[in-house]
Structure 1
Amino acid sequence: MNMLIRFFIMVSLLKQQFKQQSVSEHLSIETLTAPIVRHYRVLPHDMGFRDHLPNYRYLSFIELNITNWLMARCHQKGIKNLGWIIAMQEMVYLKEIKFLSKMTVNSTLVGWEKKYVYFETRFFVKNQLMGVGMTKFVLTNKKGKCAPEILDMTGEQTNEVIDSWNQHQVAIKSAKSAESKKTVKSTKAA
């Protein structure tokens, strides 16, 4: 419930901001990669049964920031809001974020390719890095999946982190595929 309230507050603030912004035909790299920085207080609804922000809650804050970025870029481009579907997410937790801490969540577009868009999100408390998340997602509209080109992300722009992360995903899929083939063979032999 808490995240829904934060979402509606974010949307209403964005709509007020949109009234003052002009629409442009082309989004620059600077506009696309400008970080989305939001400040939050860790409230009782954010807490799990431990005395710190639970792992799953970090992902919710990432979703709020990426949704904010996507709504703003769609408005700037003058297109209807796009949706997005997460393909892969990973978090590195460095330190616990305690109850009532004031947290800064900084999300930045770090790359894209033919199908996917990549974001890095950093969590800070008092300017100390508490966690880093990576998110890979696909853009969608009413017709289905959209290429990142719809938001002027042309060609491919990746980095070493994205490339190694994707290789890791391929390795996991290959291992699962090999494991399921073994299971099928042993079932047939029996």
Structure 2
Amino acid sequence: MNLYFRLFWLLLWRMRHARRIDFLEVSRLAFRAWPTDCDINMHLTNARYPALMDLARTFMLAEMGLLKPFLQRKWLPIVNASEFTFIRDIKPLRKFHVETRILGWDEKYFYIEQRFVSDRGLHAIANVRGLFVCKGRKIATTELLQAAQYQGDMPELADDVLTWKQLLQSKKQQNQS
């Protein structure tokens, strides 16, 4: 996390005025691309996307009402994998939103989609696979869902997410020595 000013703004101001969303609802967090976020090509640098996504996932947990209870339990989110598709650049001073939603889960991971959107349309889309840990222990998905008081059905993962999941498993198997 290299955006401390934005993190403090998020924790001290934005979360206090966050709307309440359901577990599978889309969270939207507004940003502006500051010149310090941009590279020599005069657009948002590729390295900034994951940092902004961290903030947006934190905000999503706050909107769900889960950030405080999870932190009280000392549950920490860990990103296991991510994949990006860049569609169009975000220019300096451009306002945009990061839309974050849970796509689904399995016995170990949650799958999250994050979209960078402005009035010009979709700029980038990323999928993130993550889990929560506490003192080196992986928190079971069932325990997380229970703490979130989610009682609905598990959404079916889209074919592209299932393919990505298989690719990640294949990479893991190929690199185990």
Does the pair score TM above 0.5? yes
Alignment of structure 1 residues 1-190 onto 2, 5 Å: 3-13=3-13, 16-17=16-17, 31-73=22-64, 75=66, 78-79=69-70, 80=72, 82-142=75-135, 144-152=137-145, 157-159=155-157, 160-177=159-176
In percent, how many aligned pairs have the same letter? 24
Deviation readout 1:126-145 (Å, 9 max, x if unpaired): 15011100000011224622
Report the Cα offset of residue 4 of structure 1. Answer: 1.1
Structure 1 stretch 123-132 or stretch 140-149: which is displaced more? 140-149
TM-score (norm 2): 0.81
Secondary structure in 2 matching 1:55: coil
Secondary structure in 2 matching 1:32: coil
Instruction: Please say which structure displays the higher CA radius of gyration.
Output: 1
Contact 2:38/2:44 (<8 A) preserved: yes
Report the Cα offset of residue 42 of structure 1. Answer: 0.3
Q: Any gaps of 5 or more consecutive residues in structure 2?
A: none
Secondary structure in 1 matching 2:103: strand
Contact 1:114/1:156 (<8 A) preserved: no
What is the CA–CA distance in structure 2 between the aligned matches of 1:35 and 1:100, rounded to whole Å? 24
Deviation readout 1:26-84 (Å, 9 max, x if unpaired): xxxx7111111011110022112321111111111111111122344454884526311
Deviation readout 1:83-132 (Å, 9 max, x if unpaired): 11110001100011111111111001111111111110111121501110
Structure 1 stretch 7-16 or stretch 96-105: which is displaced more? 7-16
Secondary structure in 2 matching 1:31: coil
TM-score (norm 1): 0.76
Alignment coverage as a number of residue pairs: 169
Higher helix share: 1
Report the Cα offset of residue 150 of structure 1. Answer: 2.8
